[in-house]
Structure 1
């Protein structure tokens, strides 16, 4: 029996080694599958982000064109306001040059033509 004492530990060692050869590759396969799934999910998320980015880029272009048109409208309005201010200043300057009688006629809306037409 002394000759067969080394057989059970040898069988145990061989069993452990065989089990490790089956368990370790199986774990590697599981890890690789998990990594592949994660990569696919990241690819899908990346595609979604690319589409969202393109949509936002198109919205930005629309908003920029709207901004440009509004800026041009503001410029036009500013020019109109400036012209109106100039006209007002011209009228004020013209009124400043009026005599008392001319001021009275201007504000009372009297004219010599109006009195002549009444007759």
Structure 2
């Protein structure tokens, strides 16, 4: 039987874990930030490159998300001396600590897609047999 103090310690640990998850999700909130970070983990990119790579994002939303990521010290913004002037975004050392998180999310996504696609194929096969 678990002692009351052990139970309280587990509850405290659980609460701390949940709070840390909430803090992380607050910084990475929304549909696009993790994708932007994942792209920048591979190489620095100009605004137009990010717009092309992050499928479905609008320029206005990308601009807002980049500002948020810069404010949280996850990316840096560098104005290039080109004509016309272009801006390059790069993951910071602090932001690169998220690379393992983005990889873990991607790994899970690959497995989930395979699992769900497999289930869908099974259902389609059953539906085809029923007809």
Q: TM-score, normalised by structure 2?
A: 0.28
Larger Rg: 1
Which structure's residues are more often strand, by fraction? 2
Q: Kindly indicate whether structure 1 or structure 2 has the higher relative contact order, using CA contacts under 8 Å at least 6 residues apart.
A: 2
Q: TM-score, normalised by structure 1?
A: 0.31
